[in-house]
Amino acid sequence: DGGITQSPKYLFRKEGQNVTLSCEQNLNHDAMYWYRQDPGQGLRLIYYSQIVNDFQKGDIAEGYSVSREKKESFPLTVTSAQKNPTAFYLCASSIGSAVTDTQYFGPGTRLTVL
Amino acid sequence: DAKTTQPTSMDCAEGRAANLPCNHSTISGNEYVYWYRQIHSQGPQYIIHGLKNNETNEMASLIITEDRKSSTLILPHATLRDTAVYYCIVRPRTLSNYKLTFGKGTLLTVNP
């Protein structure tokens, strides 16, 4: 079954703890993305990666870190430096080389920091 | 990127066609129109995209006006499962464009 998986669906952490959100895809896509969504708001880009071992900051990268050691995986770490980490986090992937490069999304992880 | 304007909410009866409008009057010649939808607490789902011709796939049809300043997404036979927020997005036709800019979208409620 092809697609993008994110785990876990719900995550709770105490304030001051780092937490890593998983994103895996088996679509053989080169590009992967992390977005954040707050209630009633649109998506904001955190980080993106167009190829293995390379990634760039998006609009709201402060307090987050990523790695891209494998084509299939793009984990996101929410650090204690992120002031308002409670949000719905969405991972996406795309072919990366097409002019009409459609992004496909995973089911999301809802992070709550207590 | 060109901005889009969509109604905040719409209702549709089950089994009828749902027509969702989007205004993108500042769209430029190299920008595509994309539609996604998001069911509550799920990730956005890609629906369809187009440049200037009308497009149809198994989910929906996209009608783009000749001047490209507006478009309409048509769900031909809406079901209860089509209740979602629908986003109209304009994206440049370049390899370097990596960001999807989601606005507030239209909440479509399909009623029994």
- pLDDT for position B66: 94
Q: What is the mean pLDDT of residues A17-36?
A: 95
Residue A1: pLDDT above 60?
Answer: no
Chain B contact probe: residue of A32, A100, A111 with most B CBs at under 10 A: A100
pLDDT at A92 over 80: yes
Q: Alpha-carbon distance B103 to B2, whole Å?
A: 12
Instruction: Please judge whether B104 and A42 are an interchain contact, meaning their C-beta atoms are less than 8 angstroms apart.
Output: yes
Distance from CA of A17 to the nearest CA of B (A): 24
Nearest CA in chain A to B107: A40
Query: Do A78 and A63 touch, CB atoms closer than 8 A?
Result: yes
Mark A47-77 as b/e (b = at least 16 C-beta within 10 Å). bbbbeeeebeebeebeebbbebeebbebbbe
Backbone phi, psi, residue B81, to 5°: -70, -10
Test mutation, B38, B90, B100, B102, chain A, max A CBs within 10 A: B100
Asked if B101's CB is within 8 angstroms of A88's CB, the reply is no
CA angle B101, B34, A88 (to 5 degrees): 45
Q: Which of A45-59, A93-107, B55-69 has the lowest mean pLDDT?
A: A93-107
Contact A58 B99 (CB under 8 A): yes
The confidence band for B1, taking pLDDT boundaries of 50, 70 and 90, is low
Band (pLDDT 50/70/90 cuts) for residue B4 is very high
Checking DSSP bridges between strand A10-13 and strand A109-113, what pairing results, if any? Answer: parallel
pLDDT bin (cut points 50, 70, 90) of residue A98 is: low
Residues A63-82 pLDDT 10s = 999 999 999 999 999 998 89
Instruction: State which residue of chain B sits closest to A6, comparing Cα positions.
Output: B43
